[in-house]
Structure formats: C-alpha cells, structure tokens
Chains A and B, each alone.
Chain A
Amino acid sequence: MNEKKIIELKDVAKSFDGEIILDHISLDIHEKEFMTLLGPSGCGKTTTLRIIAGFVTPDTGDVVFEGTKINDVPAYKRHVNTVFQKYALFPHLNVYENIAFALRLNKVSEEEIFNRVEEMLAMVNLRGFEKKDVNLLSGGQQQRVAIARALINKPRVLLLDEPLGALDLKLRKDMQNELKNIQRQTGITFIYVTHDQEEALSMSDTVVVMADGKIQQIGSPTDIYNEPENAFVADFIGESNIIDGIMLEDYKAKFSGQIFDCLDKGFLKNEAVDVVIRPEDVDVVAPEKGMLQGVVDSVTFKGVHYEIIVTINNFKWMIQSTDYVAPGQKIGLYIEPDAIHIMKKSEYSGMFGDYSSFSDELESLGDVDALEEEE
C-alpha cells in the first residue's frame, strides 16, 4: 500500500442538536487505498463521509487534504466525488447527460465529453444505454450510472455511501467484485461506508470499525477478524464466543474453569480479560479427549457446516463443524492455542453474551432496522 497520506482527519468532532455523532476521531487515509468505514447505524460512519465530501462542517478538528486544511472549502471545489445511497441520479437527464454532468460544467469540448462518457460506460458495462431514461433503469444499472458519473472527473478520492444497500444479494456480490476491479484499474482512493461486515472484509485494504461516534479499531480485514481489539469488534465482525477470563501469566489464560495455553502476552498478572474464540476454530472431539465437555442444545444445518449450540458452565457456545452431532449428545471441545484471542476489558465487555438468545431471524431483522435508520 502507498504510504502517502491523501486525507487526514484530526480530532474531528460533530454534534447535532446536542447529540454527539462523532467523538473526536482521527484517521489517516492513504493514496490508492480501499478503506471501509464499518459500523452499525448511528455510529457516525456516514457523517464522517459527509465531512470529507464537504456537506458537513466539523464542530472541532481539521480535515486535511494532501497537507492542506480544507475545513472551509465548499463541496464543489473538493477533488472528491460521491456515490450516494440510492444513487441520486438527475431525473431530468438521460444516462449520457447524467454521466457528462461534471464535464459540462467545465467547458469541455463535445468530442472529449463523448469519448470520456463512452469510456466510463464501457467501464461500468453500460454501452448502448446512452439515451435511456435513468428513471427506467434497474437498481443495479442506476448504481453503475452513479459510479460512472462520480468517476468521470477523475476524482482523487471516491466516497461511496452504502452504495449496494438497495440491491439484492446476488447483484450485490457482482457489484462488489466490479467495484474492487474499478478501484484497481483507476487507482483512485475509495472510502466505502457500509454496515455489512462481510462486504467490508471482502473488499477493503483497511477496515475502520466504528461505534458510538468513536473508532473502535483500524486494521486489515484479517487483523480485524483475527485480532479484534474489544468485545464490540469481536461481536460485530463474524460470529464469536466471548467469555470472561483471567490472564494468569503470559501465554496462560483461565476461562470456563480450565487453564489454556494461548499466544497472547503483555497483560498484568491475573488481569480480567475477554476471551474470543471463533466458532470455526473449535474442534469437536469425544468427551474424554476434550478440554471442555458439554451437552449439545441444538444443531442447525447451514450448508457448508452444522451450527452447534452447546452449554458448558452455563455459557452457550456456538461451534461450527462439518461433522454431525445429535442434540442431547455429550461432546468434548478441543481448542488450539492459536484459536484463542485475548482482549482487554472495555466498555463493551459483557454486552455481548453467549448464544442463548441467538437467532438468525433476529440478526436479519436488525439489519433492516439499521438500513431504515440510516435513511
């Protein structure tokens, strides 16, 4: 990754009507980076994007673009373009004129406009759509027009505000790949806002996890997944069992009544910690061979694996296994040292319990709420 900073946010804070939206965040964005701001609704990710775009002025702190403070530079003078949630295409203009919009403002020759619009249409696979009415396009097509319109002026940074939120799953996957390709081709810095952790992990160079107006963690997708900083990140990204534990000494943790070897160090002696174990990192073994034993509560077939809920010391674990076990069966769990990740206690400790109330349906309902609140 390029180390040259293109945008810096320095101690930026913003409140609306006395409610803190952004609580003093600092963030560096590098050239050619694909950065994703990830978080639940109301976490401040969209406000961060709008501050960079110039639609929102921060209460305190600086927005710096290539070394120059741009707090007071209006949106139309920034070398930044936006792909809006729900696209915001101009309904009075056809596909060609929507894409040509930015060029028409700059007295570009008709010939160059034509060439560049055609180039953009080719890039987003919409050749032949020039004269089409944007109101009659499908969601995916409108999205492509919005991307072409935002990219035609060759911005230094492209901001994308939940651009795929309104598309169905299959189309969303295709567009994720296309966006990633476009970003590689053009070398433009992308700042992408989403509440979909899978989208964030599969597309980004850097993921910024946000909650409650604060940055919880900045890192590569693998860092974020494997080394979550606190219980919020561990819970928000993927599935995780988060257990109260005690760090006895370096490389030795105690939880669920047992002592485990692990790879973490640098904690105080007997420090209370949160222990994260991903469901796919637990091996199901015979009870006598297991480090922990428990009785299976329920089993759900998920296609690639079974999702097993098992109770051990009143804590309901989620385990993903390709081997079937029957509900009521006694099983053993085997956990390798590298499957254990130790986190310092945080304000989020204890908020994300075990899987006793877990349900897929509730999760997806939560997503719908999140979408509606953002709008």
Chain B
Amino acid sequence: MTKKSLLQKAVAAPHVMWAVLFIIAPLLFVVYYAFTDKDGNFTFDNIAELAQASYLEIFLRSLCFAFLATVICLIIAYPIAYFMTKASPKTQKILIMLVMLPQWLNFLIRTYSWMAILEDTGIINGLLTSIGLEPVHMINTSGAVILGMVYNYLPYMIIPLHSVMSKIDNRLLEAASDLGCSNFKVITRVVFPLSMSGIISGVTMVFVPSISTFYISQKLGGGNFDLIGDTIERQFQTAYNYNLGASMSFVLMIIIMISMAVMSKYSGEDDGGVIV
C-alpha cells in the first residue's frame, strides 16, 4: 500500500467537495431539523409525534405499496431480462434502448398519460364500452398507484438484472443441463443464484424510489392513498413544519437502511449489492 500522492488527492478533491456539499450537508440538515423544535432547541417531540396512528398507517401503507411494486417488478423483469440475454448482441442493444425509452419522457407526463388511460372515461374504458362491456373503475384505486410505481421503475429492475445475467458464462448453463437440469431447473439452480447481485441492485433501485414517491399516489390514487412522500411534501410545502417533515425523512431513511440491511443479509456473501 502506498500513500496517496498529492496529485491523487488533488484529483479527488472536487469529488470530496461535491459529496460534502450535496450529500453530507443535506443529511446533517435533515438530522438537525428532525431533532429540534421551532426555536432550535433539542427535542424528541417530532419523532414521538410520528407514533400517532394516522402517521403509522401512512408508513405502513408506503411500505406495503413499495413492497408490492418491487415484487411485481421483479416478477415481470426477471423473464424479460433472461430472454434478452438470449438475443444477439445487436438485438440486445436495441432491446435495452426500448426498455429505457419511456424514461426519456418526463416523469409527470408519463404519470398524466396513465391518468388518461385509466380514467372512468379513459382509453381502456372507452375500448371496453365500445365492444359492449361494462366499464371498470381503475383510477384512484390502490392498484392504480402500484401500477404507476411498477411502470415507472420497471427499467431500473430490468437493466441491472440483464447486466448481471449477460455476464453468466454460457458454459455454466450447458454444464447444468449436461448434469440433468431441465431448462426450468437451469434457471432455478444456476441462473437465479448467480444473478442474485442483480436482484439486490434491482430491488434496491425500485424499492427506494417507490417507498419515497409522492407524485404517483396523488395523481393515480386521487389523494386517497397518502404515502410518506406525500406527507413529507405537505409538511414542507403547505404546513411549513420543517421539523416534522425532517423527522419523517429521517425515519424513512432508517426504514430504507433496515430494508437494505435485511436484503444484503439474505443475499449471503454476495459482493454486487448496491450500497444505499
């Protein structure tokens, strides 16, 4: 091990500055506001306030929705990512581009589009009534909120899964079928354990934005399904209670950290997980 030269330190300096200014400092602000009252005195009141049943319900709902969205993303993305690796390298590039394509559109526009699709007089119900079927109420349901999360975050599940799977040596799959694995067992016995680091990355990249989202629930849930993100937003934008908002952010961070710790524990000695 050699000591870092002055030049190496100089090269790293802008990154260190960046990290301090835009990552460490905001975190410290959150912690500061979370543990002080309006006059800047130290207090646990903000945290204690979150123990109210109404807030607990919001936290629980957020966890539930994020969990469901993550599981659904994983179930949809896994086979897609697997079959993508079977295509030719050229086709794979095109497929990856297609997966990312919706992300080029603005997030708000994507969510508004779903409102137009799901509304009681929207595109789907228009189609249903035109072929003589009863319209289905979809907008402003919990399903619509979860659909919005799945739609928006699915690419973040597919991309890391695909990148890990495409690195699995084809000879390992041949070895597995040589030793008696049917195509399905090749996936459960070899592909699945070897893609665990991609699963961890994907789950992290879907779960974290899902649990902290605030816009999808307002537009597709019609305000019936308050999530943590919505509540935090309201504290800062409407109630001007920075202290309560910060304490919610703080608790949300703790929840995410615990979730990630549990995840990486189950992934065993794996090296490829994403650090939150």
Contact = CB atoms under 8 A, between A and B. Distances in A.
B181 A105 contact: yes
A106 B189 CA distance: 13
A81 B178 contact: yes
Interface stretch (B48-56, B122-130, B168-176): B168-176
Nearest to A149: B179
B79 interface: no
Which bucket holds chain A's interface residue count? Answer: 20 to 34
Contacts of A101: 176, 179, 189
B263 interface: no
A55 B174 contact: yes
Contacts of B185: 105
Contacts of A74: 177, 182
Nearest to A133: B269
A170 to B, nearest CB: 26
30 contacts: A54-B177, A74-B182, A75-B174, A76-B177, A76-B179, A76-B180, A76-B181, A76-B182, A82-B174, A82-B175, A84-B174, A85-B171, A88-B169, A88-B171, A88-B172, A90-B172, A90-B175, A90-B190, A91-B194, A92-B193, A92-B194, A92-B196, A101-B176, A101-B179, A101-B189, A102-B179, A105-B180, A149-B179, A150-B178, A153-B180
Which bucket holds chain B's interface residue count? Answer: 10 to 19
A82 B185 CA distance: 18
Interface string A60-91: 00000000000000111000111011101111
A37 interface: no
Interface in B179-214: 179-182, 185, 189-190, 193-194, 196
Contacts of B180: 76, 102, 105-106, 153
A106 B181 CA distance: 10
B172 A82 contact: no
Given A75-B174, A84-B171, A90-B172, A153 B194 contact: no
Nearest to A77: B180
Given A88-B169, A90-B190, A91-B194, A105 B179 contact: yes
A106 B179 CA distance: 11
Contacts of A88: 169, 171-172, 174-175
A81 B182 CA distance: 14
A84 B179 CA distance: 12
Contacts of A55: 174, 178
B165 to A, nearest CB: 14
B175 A76 contact: no
Nearest to B186: A76
Contacts of B181: 76, 105
A93 to B, nearest CB: 8
Interface in A352-374: none
Contacts of A102: 179-180
A158 B196 CA distance: 32
Interface string A85-127: 1101111100000000110011000000000000000000000
Contacts of B179: 76, 81, 101-102, 105, 149-150, 153
Given A55-B174, A55-B178, A85-B171, 7 more contacts: A54-B177, A80-B178, A88-B171, A92-B196, A101-B179, A102-B180, A105-B181
A91 B190 CA distance: 9
Interface in B149-173: 169, 171-172
A102 B176 CA distance: 8
A75 B175 CA distance: 10
Contact of A75 (B171, B177, B190): B177
Given A88-B169, A90-B172, A82 B178 contact: yes
A101 B190 CA distance: 10
A248 B267 CA distance: 78
Contacts of B175: 82, 84, 88-90
A308 interface: no
Contacts of A80: 178
B171 A53 contact: no
Contacts of A105: 179-181, 185, 189
Contacts of A85: 171
B131 to A, nearest CB: 43
Contacts of A75: 174, 177-178
Given A84-B171, A88-B169, A105-B185, A53 B178 contact: yes
B271 to A, nearest CB: 11
Nearest to B193: A92
A85 B169 CA distance: 12
B189 to A, nearest CB: 8
B253 to A, nearest CB: 32
Closest 6 CB pairs of A and B: A88-B171, A102-B179, A88-B175, A92-B193, A76-B177, A75-B177
B88 to A, nearest CB: 12
Contacts of B178: 53-55, 75-76, 80-82, 150
